Amino acid sequence: MPSIGIGGQETGIGGNPLLVYLNNAATSRKKPECVYQAMDSFMRDVGVSPYRSVDSPAMEAAGIIADARTKLACLFGVEDARQIVFGGSCTEGLNLAIKGILQPADHVVITSLEHNSVMRPLSALIQERGIAVSRAKVDSEGRTDMSDLESLLTGKTRLVVMPHASNVTGTIQPVEDCAELCRRKGVPLLVDAAQTAGCLPLDLGTVPIDMLAFSGHKGLMGPQGVGGLYIRKGVDPKPLKHGGTGSNSASEKQPGSVPDRYESGTPNTPGLAGLSAALDYIGTVTVQAIRAGIIELGNIMLDGLRGIDGVTLHGPSSMADNVGVFSFTMASRDIAEVADHLQHRHGIIARVGLQCSPAAHKAIGTFPDGTLRVSVGHHSMIEEVEYFLQKLEEM
């Protein structure tokens, strides 16, 4: 394994700084080779805007985006790819859903685990539209209490929001039950799939979710700067942005047809070329196999963390309920110092603090200090997990 280099940092093969990346919940650092190639090839060989002309490069650019849309629809079990709206991030998808659906004085029910990309749009709407927000409780492993959630629904509830899995505890949420409940009560459900798209199977053909926000750069293994929202037919949020689409150009009004209605402005075609290639890769490997790999790594992580003195794990005790995210604190240790040591001495990249989710930390009792979070992904290796566990134990 690594040796200690000048300055006290361990070095990897060839004397390069060792980099053990355990922050996959933030973004997947390593992408399939085809992602780099697709982006490079788009930039060099195509390079034009889609929809703004009909020459062959423009049609190729348009085709790349259509492909990405179709492949993502297929991955999510969505019949009509028009229901997939692309944008710059999962945050943008969540903003579109939340701001596009909620009207003055509406009520919304959320879980206690929401990321700030849900909490902040809601806070803005509390100010601007006088909406009311209720939060369903979670148990000690970060699982939403569905009977509490149901008890919060009122005649004024216009939206329910739930993450598919928490970015703090990794806990997979009961989205199937929640979708059933929302369908029964006639309330639209928005699912935040930032942590799960590409690494946890979900079939929107059978689970009646109304809107699902996704991040293109985490489990989907595309580049940063792509994400979006699935919108079920018949659900009609107001557009978040207005502008040129290349369609209905005679009108100064936003077009009504999807996805154009929600996709103003020149799209991130290089990013979508990368996402499209990543979706090919995922299609070949399969989400089921990706999930199995993460479970294998996660079991090693869980066993290892449990065996280290002073470590308290804040999350599920079994990988059956965990997407691959592990949050912990350490008795009488400052977790920021631990993170700094791991990074500076051993090249281990983890994430410390509140992970943009103060609400979730309040719910699990780790606010305001937060936790040290390590998260594995498809490209993580058993050796990396074991190396991290060894260095943590030595501290």
Partner 1 sequence: MAERRQCVVIFESTYDATCSARLAKNAGFEIRMLPVPRKLSSDCNMGMVIAFLDKAQVASLLEKHDVECRIVEWSPE
- Provide the binding-site residues for ligand PLP, judged by CB under 6 A: 26, 89-91, 115, 117, 163, 167, 192, 194-195, 215, 227
Q: Which of 21, 51, 76, 326 binds partner 1 (CB under 8 A)?
A: 51
DSSP assignment of 153-211 = --TTEEEEEEESB-TTT-BBP-HHHHHHHHHHHT--EEEE-TTTTTTS---TTTS--SE
The tokens for 256 are: 């009504």
Whichever of 115 and 135 has its CB closer to ligand PLP, that residue is 115
Contact partner, 53, from ligand PLP, partner 1, none, Cβ < 5-8 Å per class: partner 1
The tokens for 71 are: 């492949």
Whichever of 47 and 130 has its CB closer to partner 1, that residue is 47
Q: Residue 236 interacts with partner 1 (CB under 8 A)? A: no
Helical residues (DSSP H) of the chain, grouped into ranges: 33-41, 56-76, 90-101, 116-129, 146-152, 175-185, 269-285, 287-306, 335-346, 358-364, 382-394
In the complex, minimum distance from the CB of residue 26 to ligand PLP, in angstroms, rounded to a whole number: 6
In the complex, minimum distance from the CB of residue 229 to partner 1, in angstroms, rounded to a whole number: 15
Please give the size of the binding site for partner 1, defined by CB under 8 A. 26
Say if strands 189-192 and 107-111 run parallel, antiparallel, or are unpaired: unpaired
In the complex, minimum distance from the CB of residue 258 to partner 1, in angstroms, rounded to a whole number: 7
Sheet holding 84-87, edge to edge: 84-87, 227-231, 211-215, 189-192, 157-163, 107-111, 132-136
Report the distance separating Cα 257 and Cα 362, nearest Å. Answer: 41
CA 72 to chain CA centroid, Å, is 14
Q: Angle, nearest 10°, between helix axes 335-346 and 382-394?
A: 120
The footprint of partner 1 on residues 255-274 (CB under 8 A) is 255, 257-260
Contact partner, 250, from partner 1, ligand PLP, none, Cβ < 5-8 Å per class: partner 1
- Find, among 233, 229, 249, the residue nearest to 100 by Cα: 229
Contact partner, 245, from ligand PLP, partner 1, none, Cβ < 5-8 Å per class: partner 1
Report the distance separating Cα 66 and Cα 58, nearest Å. Answer: 12
Whichever of 56 and 284 has its CB closer to partner 1, that residue is 56
Q: Which of 81, 161, 313, 330 binds partner 1 (CB under 8 A)?
A: 81
Please check whether residue 179 is in contact with residue 188, taking contact to mean a CB–CB distance below 8 angstroms: no
Contact partner, 194, from ligand PLP, partner 1, none, Cβ < 5-8 Å per class: ligand PLP
| Binding segment (CB under 8 A) for partner 1, from list 65-73, 171-179, 197-205, 363-371 | 65-73
Contact partner, 173, from partner 1, ligand PLP, none, Cβ < 5-8 Å per class: none
Whichever of 249 and 288 has its CB closer to partner 1, that residue is 249
| Binding segment (CB under 8 A) for partner 1, from list 76-84, 87-95, 128-136, 378-386 | 76-84
Whichever of 40 and 80 has its CB closer to partner 1, that residue is 80
CA 372 to chain CA centroid, Å, is 19
Contact partner, 62, from partner 1, ligand PLP, none, Cβ < 5-8 Å per class: partner 1
Whichever of 63 and 201 has its CB closer to ligand PLP, that residue is 201
Whichever of 167 and 276 has its CB closer to ligand PLP, that residue is 167
In the complex, minimum distance from the CB of residue 377 to partner 1, in angstroms, rounded to a whole number: 30
Q: Which of 6, 13, 250, 331 binds partner 1 (CB under 8 A)?
A: 250
Q: Residue 249 interacts with partner 1 (CB under 8 A)? A: yes
> What's the N-to-C CA distance of the chain in angstroms?
18
Q: Residue 246 interacts with partner 1 (CB under 8 A)? A: yes
In the complex, minimum distance from the CB of residue 61 to partner 1, in angstroms, rounded to a whole number: 9
Report the distance separating Cα 328 and Cα 372, nearest Å. Answer: 5
Whichever of 141 and 260 has its CB closer to partner 1, that residue is 260
Residue with tokens 């594995």: 376
Torsion-angle region of residue 7: left (phi > 0), alpha (psi -120 to 50) or beta? left
Torsion-angle region of residue 108: left (phi > 0), alpha (psi -120 to 50) or beta? beta
3-class DSSP state of 50:
coil
Residues engaged in binding partner 1 (CB under 8 A):
50-54, 59, 62-63, 65-66, 69, 80-82, 245-251, 255, 257-260
